[in-house]
Amino acid sequence: MPEHDDEIIEQVADELRGPVPLSASFDARVMRAVRRFPRHSRHSRGAVWSRLTAPRAIVVRPLSAGLLAACVLALAGLGLVQAAKMVRAAAKPAVGGVFARTAKPAATQRVQFVLVAPDAKKVAVVGDFNGWDASHAAYQAKHRGGGVWSVTAPVPVGHHRYSFVVDDTVWMADPTAPRASDNDFGLPNSAIVVEADK
Partner 1 sequence: MLALLVALALAPNDARAQDPRLAARLDKPTQFAVNAIVDSARAAALPTAPLVEKALEGAAAGSDGPRIVVAVRHLAARMGAAKHVLGPRASADEIKAAAGAMDFGVTVRDLARLHAAAGKRPLTMPLAVLTDLLGRDVPLVTATSLVVQLTRAGTKDAEFALFQRNVRLDIEHGADPAVAATTRGRGMMLKAAHTGGRPTE
Residues that bind partner 1 (CB under 8 A): 72, 75-76, 79-80, 82-84, 87, 90-91, 93-94, 97-99, 126, 128, 131-134, 158-159, 161, 171, 176, 178-181, 183-187, 191, 193, 195
Least distance in Å: CB of 88 to partner 1? 9
Residue closer to partner 1 (CB basis): 60 or 87: 87
Among 116, 124, 140, 128, smallest CA distance to 184 is for 128
Residue closer to partner 1 (CB basis): 120 or 161: 161
Residue closer to partner 1 (CB basis): 123 or 134: 134
Residue 109, judged by CB atoms within 10 A of its CB (0-12, 13-18, 19+), counts as buried
Helix (H) / strand (E) containing 124: strand 123-127
Question: Under a CB-based contact definition with an 8 Å cutoff, are residues 194 and 109 in contact?
Answer: yes
Least distance in Å: CB of 161 to partner 1? 7
Q: Which residues contact 172 (CB under 8 A, 6 or more apart)?
A: 115, 117, 163, 164, 165, 166, 188
Residue closer to partner 1 (CB basis): 11 or 176: 176
Least distance in Å: CB of 54 to partner 1? 25
